């Protein structure tokens, strides 16, 4: 299926933002800088799971406390999503991106100064607020400016996340091993965020980030699922996003712990296995090509089905280290490359151009608010049922909700 937004005229009553329809050197350079802002974000987000066993020992945390701490940042992300999306539409996406990157970088470093669980949790939540606000404004800016190749451009952001998610655990693990201090990686990644902030100020003009922000409907036609903000497609996207976020972030927070406790892997082996998930996200651009050209509901069905299949393999069949590496890679492709990229583009395509920021904010809220308790849920399920059963519930049962949401969405009208 080809969407009207890609090749045909604008839908009745709607104007398309100007943006760009060609991959010029300038456009690619701008996209690269925007990608870098998310790469640093991903490095910190993924390295925390590698540091968690040492943090757990430092603060004498219980399993449930550690599980909650691993995903509590997503509460800040989710709560920031809708307000940040609204502010991105009202005061400007670049302003929100800069402010959020500053907040994220500072609180990333402050996590290393925590005296106990309370302030560490507070810094984790605030770093999540910065990440969530950045996510909403960044995806809106990229989706609007590259609207004719929206999923490909969003895929590049996710690919940058994947690169950061792969490099973060490796660099963090190296810093941890060489210094013996889990605080050092947090200081380093916080400083990197400030460097990227300075680059963003000078390299990305507001004319790029604010594309389509001031455009409204030319007319107000009869109620139409393609024009109203809260329509069936938006709601179904939000439900699918909830299922995806709850599934994956609970898993990511405890996967390194699972490998070390259940399989006895070393810290380096665990870092490589966890990093393979991020490496899978590098396929996001290619997956975005499919999302721009085919029925996005079916693309999501394939993604959710692959997540469930990988979950069964990781927790039931994945005794061999090589098997864990392959399944972690495929899971990264299925989630970040397919479901995250595709759903983010789909929810933006389901609203008027002037409300892309709010759609992006809703996506962030739906992804990360449920994810904030998923680590606790996974840890509690594991405590009662063991790793194998808890893993199957987390990665195989919950994705069914996403499949049902895609079934309920219905085909878009050409």
Note whether residue 4 is domain-resident: no
Report the distance separating Cα 251 and Cα 162, nearest Å.
Answer: 16
Number of domains observed in the structure of the chain = 1
At 13 the pLDDT is: 40
Q: Can you give the residue range of the structural domain that contains 101?
A: 23-216+225-409
pTM: 0.72
Note whether residue 254 is domain-resident: yes
At 214 the pLDDT is: 64
At 4 the pLDDT is: 37
Residue 111, sorted as left (phi over 0), alpha (psi -120 to 50) or beta, turns out to be alpha
At 227 the pLDDT is: 56
Note whether residue 343 is domain-resident: yes
Report the distance separating Cα 66 and Cα 410, nearest Å.
Answer: 41
Report the distance separating Cα 321 and Cα 391, nearest Å.
Answer: 17
Note whether residue 311 is domain-resident: yes
Note whether residue 155 is domain-resident: yes
Note whether residue 161 is domain-resident: yes
Output the domain CATH number for residue 402.
1.20.1250.20
Of the candidates 1, 24, 36, the one whose C-alpha atom is nearest the C-alpha of residue 146 is 24
Q: What is the chain's percent helix, strand, coil content, to nearest 5?
A: 80, 0, 20
Note whether residue 18 is domain-resident: no
At 66 the pLDDT is: 82
pLDDT along the chain (414 residues), means of 10: 37 48 78 89 79 87 80 83 85 91 92 91 92 87 80 84 79 87 90 92 86 54 50 90 92 84 82 81 80 82 94 86 90 90 85 79 87 84 89 93 90 52
At 25 the pLDDT is: 84
Note whether residue 5 is domain-resident: no
């Amino acid at each position: 299926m080809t969407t009207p937004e890609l090749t045909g005229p604008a839908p009745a009553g709607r104007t398309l933002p100007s943006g760009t329809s060609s991959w010029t050197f300038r456009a690619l350079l701008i996209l690269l800088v925007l990608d870098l802002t998310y790469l640093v974000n991903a490095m910190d987000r993924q390295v925390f799971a590698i540091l968690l066993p040492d943090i757990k020992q430092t603060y004498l945390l219980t399993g449930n406390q550690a599980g909650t701490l691993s995903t509590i940042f997503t509460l800040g992300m989710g709560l920031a999503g809708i307000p940040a999306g609204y502010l991105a539409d009202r005061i400007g996406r670049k302003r929100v991106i800069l402010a959020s990157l500053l907040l994220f970088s500072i609180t990333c470093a402050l996590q290393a100064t925590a005296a106990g669980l309370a302030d560490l949790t507070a810094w984790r939540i605030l770093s999540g607020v910065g990440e969530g606000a950045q996510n909403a404004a960044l995806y809106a800016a990229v989706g609007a400016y590259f609207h004719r190749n929206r999923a490909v451009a969003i895929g590049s952001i996710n690919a940058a996340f994947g690169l950061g998610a792969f490099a973060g655990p490796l660099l963090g693990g190296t810093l941890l091993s060489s210094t013996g201090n889990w605080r050092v990686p947090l200081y380093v990644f916080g400083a990197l965020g400030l460097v990227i902030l300075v680059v963003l100020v000078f390299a990305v003009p507001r004319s790029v980030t604010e594309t389509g922000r001031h455009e409204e409907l030319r007319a107000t036609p009869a109620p139409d699922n393609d024009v109203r903000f809260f329509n069936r497609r938006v709601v179904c996207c939000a439900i699918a996003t909830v299922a995806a976020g709850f599934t994956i972030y609970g898993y990511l927070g405890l996967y390194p712990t699972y490998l070390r406790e259940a399989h006895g892997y070393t810290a380096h082996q665990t870092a490589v296995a966890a990093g393979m998930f991020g490496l899978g996200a590098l396929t996001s651009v290619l997956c975005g090509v499919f999302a721009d050209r085919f029925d996005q509901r079916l693309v999501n069905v394939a993604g959710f089905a692959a997540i469930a299949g990988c979950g069964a393999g990781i927790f039931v069949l994945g005794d061999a280290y090589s098997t864990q590496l392959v399944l972690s890679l495929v899971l990264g492709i299925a989630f970040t490359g397919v479901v995250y990229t595709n759903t983010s583009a789909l929810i933006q395509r389901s609203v008027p151009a002037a409300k892309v920021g709010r759609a992006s904010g809703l996506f962030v809220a739906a992804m990360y608010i449920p994810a904030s308790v998923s680590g606790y849920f996974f840890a509690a399920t594991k405590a009662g049922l063991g790793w194998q059963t808890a893993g199957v519930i987390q990665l195989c049962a919950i994705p069914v909700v996403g499949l049902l949401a895609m079934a309920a969405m219905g085909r878009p009208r050409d």
